[in-house]
Amino acid sequence: MAVPQVAIVGRPNVGKSSLFNWLARRRLAIVDDHAGVTRDRMVTLIEHEDRFFELIDTGGIGIVDDDDLTDDVSRQIELAINSADVIVIVVDVQSGIMPLDESVAERLRGIERPVILVCNKADQPHQDIQAEEFHKLGRGHMVQVSTTQNRNREQLLDLIVDRLPDANEEVHAETQMKVTIVGRRNVGKSTFVNTLAESDRMIVSEVPGTTRDSVDVRFEMDGQTFMAIDTPGLRKRKSQRTDLEYYGMHRAQRSVRRADVVLMFFDASETVSKVDKQLIGYVMENHKPCVFVINKWDKLHNTVPTDRWVRYLRAQFPTLAYAPIAFITGQTGKNVKALLNHSTMLYKQSCERVSTGQLNRVVRAAVEAHIPPLHQGRRPKVYFATQVATQPPTIVLVVNDPKSIGNDYQRYLLGVFRDHLPFGEVPIKMYLHKRHRNEEDPTEIK
């Protein structure tokens, strides 16, 4: 089970970023009186009552962006809402209900997930009565808070944790593994799906862009049931001439989010494009296991050695050096079964969970072999590590100062985890968590 996510939403200038910083106890998001400062989603890990969750800050719903990025901001908000297990709606007690507050509540009307209504800027207890008018929004349990006066922080965190999915609840996943096939136009995705299904399930044509929506296709192989998700072929945003192409891109992104494993298709006779890199960037952003699939290999297998393509891909995507590479001919089915078997292995890796003892033995050995470099004249301290989620494997490293562990050392630790833990070919999330003063003093990893 992945780390639960909590999305903060609301109209502009109600204090969403202030609330985000306040709950995180760190100044992470920019806070400014000018509306529209927040555009991208910002994510941080929060711990409360022995539960971890990812808190997501979003832009203001209804903002008109000064740089013509309104659609992009709205898309980021939509992504946060779609991925959230709990939604926090923020309103401003001092300004009262505004038409945009009602628009926010209406936008979330069909969302069947827990909602908490946070009445911000209730700096004094006597202002709590002003919050009563927000009941008419009809969304979620209400709590009055003040980020400036530090009112009711613990109460809000308790409400959030109470509404998170049960950490001990057994997750009943679908019986089939979901494999999403992505790539540029005309790289053979639909032909591959037809080969898996052993039928003409998808229209196959030499005309680029034949597939216009994401299509789920169930199939069986060796007694196992799988779901293949075919997606529209993508091209550069500036080349998207119709609404169908625009929405096709977003449906492809949604299919990536649904995937257990992503198969990134390339045409063996073509070089990597900007669209390929954008797709891979989205796969990485969502921490999905990925296989690079070189399709139509029958065209080149007698003229180009496989290791040349391997070196080429590794140079194009150096941060995905752990991702396996497969060479197939989708039309004939050559190597397709091996590809599915390897995809199943990746899925199992993403679901693996290691004990805290095993993880800390690996961390201790890593720190002993390569001590963290000095930061501002001080040696960083690593206290202990724990795995808090799967799909993707998520590891929390408790340290004295998260800022003291640089990116190079983080990459070193991730490499060690892949070498010594059962996560060798899948993305790993790692959070650096500052030890609270009231925590018991665990044995420091020296």
Annotated binding-site residue numbers for GTP: 10-17, 57-61, 120-123, 183-190, 230-234, 295-298
SS3 per residue for 233-246: CECCHHHCCCHHHH
d(CA 178, CA 437): 43
Surface-to-core class of residue 75, CB atoms within 10 Å of its CB (0-12 exposed, 13-18 middle, 19+ buried)? middle
Single-letter residue type at 397: L
d(CA 220, CA 109): 38
> What separation in angstroms does the CA of 352 have from each of 29, 91, 132?
33, 40, 47
| Residue 48: closest CA among 445, 441, 438 | 438
| Residue 88: closest CA among 3, 157, 13 | 157
Phi-psi region of 391 (alpha: psi -120 to 50; beta: other; left: phi over 0): left
> What separation in angstroms does the CA of 62 have from each of 13, 82, 192?
11, 18, 42
Structure tokens at 398: 């408790």
d(CA 289, CA 276): 16
| Residue 36: closest CA among 2, 60, 7 | 60
Q: How do strand 290-295 and strand 261-267 relate by DSSP bridges?
A: parallel
Phi-psi region of 335 (alpha: psi -120 to 50; beta: other; left: phi over 0): left
DSSP SS3 for 30? coil
Which residues fall in the annotated binding site?
10-17, 57-61, 120-123, 183-190, 230-234, 295-298
Angle at 81 between CA 41 and CA 276, to 5 degrees: 60
Give residue for tokens 């140079």. Answer: 315
> What separation in angstroms does the CA of 423 have from each of 270, 282, 335, 367, 419?
31, 20, 24, 19, 8
Angle at 112 between CA 250 and CA 161, to 5 degrees: 105
